[in-house]
Amino acid sequence: MSVLSEPTIEQRSDQCQELIAESGVNLIVLGFPKCGTTAFAEWLDGSALVAVSRPKETFRLCPEFSLNQSRTERVGLSTSFRSSDAPWRVEATTLNVYSAALRQALRATPTKVVILLRDPVESVLSWHNQMCQAGIAVSESFDEAWQHGLQLGEELAEGNEFLRAYEVVCSYGRWVSRWLEAIGHDRTLLAYDHEVRSSHQLLGRRLEHFLATSLGLPAEVPVRNQFSAIRFPRAYAMLRRPAFKSALRTGARYVPAVDAVRRFVRERVMLRPAKKLHVDAYEFLREQFSADQELLQSHYAANSQRWYGL
C-alpha cells in the first residue's frame, strides 16, 4: 500500500514555475495582510495595459496553504485574466508573500515583484480583527490569540495555524529580507499602504519607472476591506456562504449594480468599527516589533534609492 507524501519545496517550486510560464504572469503583487493589496490590484487593473487575475485571490502560486486548496482546484490561473493581450499580467494574492516555493521559483524567472508594506504594529491588530471575522482566530481576546501564536513554530505552521502566528506573519522586515535575498532590488518594488491611499500619483510614477511602461492608471484608488468588525454575525455569515456569494456574482454579470449593493450592505450595514485596544497593547507591540521595524525601514530606504531616486 503506497503512502501519499507532502510535496517538497522543490516540487512546489517547479509547479509554480510551470504555472508562471503557462499563464504568462510577469508581475506579482506580494501584499502583506491588511496592506491595501485588494485596492492596489483593482487600481492596476484599471490600466488598459494590465490584466489582474480574477478572482484576485487565486492561491495558485502559494501551494503551502492547504486551507485554500478547494478554491485553488476550481481556479485556473491561465484562464483568469480578462484580457489575453495585456503586456502586464498580474497575480496578486496576499499569501504569496509567505510562499517559499514561489520565492524559489522566481529565482529562475524574470518576473517582477511589488511588495506592499505597513507598520506591523498597526497591521497585527487589523489582522487579528480579520481573523475574528473569518472565524480563524483562536479567541476574540487579542492577548489570548497573541500568546497562542507565540507557541507556533514557523516551520510547523501552514494554513490556518500559520495565520494564527501573528508575530511571524507580521514580521515584515524578516520576510522582505528573504525576498531581496532571492531576487534583489532590481526586480522588487517596495511600497507602503499609505502611499496607495494618499500618494498614489507619485506611486504610479514610481511604478511606471519600475516597469518601464506608461500605464495610464486611474486617477483614484478604490477603497476596500476597511478595518471593521461584524455588527450582525448571523446575517454576515449568510453573506459569506459560497452558494450565496456565487449567486450574487452571477447576478452582477447581468446587473452590475448588484455588486455595488453587496459591497454597501457588507461594509456599511453588516460591519462596524472595531474596538481599539488599550494604549498598553500598542506599547507592548512596539517593543515586540522594534527591531523588525528598523530592518524594514532599512530595506525600504535602499529600495527607494534604487527606484525612487531619494
Position 125 scores a pLDDT of: 84
Residue 79's pLDDT is 78
Which one-letter DSSP state was computed for residue 36?
A: S
Closest alpha carbon to 57 in 84, 94, 26, 24: 94
Beta strand segments in the chain, E: 27-31, 50-52, 88-92, 112-117, 188-192, 229-230, 271-272
Beta bridge partners of 90: 27, 52
- What is the predicted pLDDT for the residue at 277? 55
- How far apart are the C-alpha atoms of 163 and 151, rounded to whole Å? 13
229 strand-pairing partners: 272
What was the pLDDT predicted at 224? 64
pLDDT score, position 281:
76
Entry pTM: 0.80
Residue 236, all three cell numbers = 454576515
Residues across the chain: 310
pLDDT (0 to 100) of residue 69: 55
Please name the residues in contact with 234: beta carbons below 8 A apart, sequence gap of 6 or more: none
3-state secondary structure of 189: strand
**Superfamily name and number for 9-120+161-224+289-307:** P-loop containing nucleotide triphosphate hydrolases (3.40.50.300)
- Regions in the chain scoring below 50 on pLDDT: 1-4, 72, 227, 310
What are the grid coordinates assigned to 88, written together? 502586464
Contacts for 273-277: CB closer than 8 Å, 24+ residues apart:
273/227, 273/228, 273/229, 274/129, 274/227, 274/228, 274/229, 275/229, 277/125, 277/142
Residue 223 DSSP label: P
pLDDT of 3: 43
pLDDT of residue 269: 59
- Domain ranges (residues) in the chain: 9-120+161-224+289-307
Per-position b or e across 90-111, b if 16+ CB within 10 A of its CB: bbbbbbbbbbebbbbbbeebeb
Cell numbers for 210: 519600475
Bond preceding residue 55 cis, omega within 30 of 0: yes
